[in-house]
Amino acid sequence: MQIVKKILLSLLGIVIILLITALFVKKEYAVEREVTINRPVSDVFTYIKFLQNQKNFSIWAQKDPHAEMEYKGVDANVGFISSWNSKIKDVGVGEQEIRGVVPNQRIDYELRFKKPQECVGQSYMTTYSVSASQTNVKWGFKGKMNYPMNLMLLMMNMDKMLGGDLQTGLGNLKILLEK
C-alpha cells in the first residue's frame, strides 16, 4: 500500500511540475521561408493570389492529389474558401480562407484544420520587387497552442516541421513560374 501511495504521489508531482512549466512556455510559433523568382512582381502576385493555384505548388496539396476539394466565393478575393477532405492523415480535413489582399504585396489566409486535429492558424504570402525581373516571395505560417498543450512546443520544432514543406512549395512555385 505504501508503494502504491508513493507512486501516485510521484505521478501527481510530475503532473504538477509539467503544468507549472507550461505556464512559462511560449504559446505561439511562427515559421517563414522565402525564394527569389525570376519574374516581375505583378506576374508572380497575379499567380499566387488565386488560392486554387496552390494545388500546383503546395506540397500539402501534392500529398493527396485525389483529395475532395470544394470552393466557395470568388477566388483571389477576401472571403474565398478552399476546403479539402483527404483520407491521408498528413493532409486531413480543413479549409483555408483568404482574409486579406494587398495587390502585388500580400495575401493573408486563415487555416482551419478539422482532422486529424482541430486548430486554427494564420498564413500569408508576401511579394516584393527585387528588380524589374525578380520577385522575392515569402510564405509564412503562425499558430498558437493553448495552455497546457503549449508544453508540446518544447518537444516539437515547428520551424523544422513546417519550414521544409514551405521551402519545397516555394521551390515548386519558382520552377513553375520560371518555365
| 14-54 residue pLDDT tens | 877 777 776 777 778 889 999 999 999 999 999 999 999 99
- pLDDT score of 151: 66
**Which has more confidence, 172 or 8?**
172
Confidence grade of residue 153 (pLDDT, cut at 50, 70, 90): low
In angstroms, the CA 94 to CA 173 distance is: 22
Where in the chain are the domains?
A: 27-177
CATH architecture assignment, domain 27-177: 2-Layer Sandwich (3.30)
Lowest mean pLDDT among 63-67, 166-170, 173-177: 63-67
- Mean pLDDT, all residues of the chain: 90
- pLDDT score of 10: 86
Angle at 92 between CA 116 and CA 162, to 5 degrees: 90
pTM, entire model: 0.83
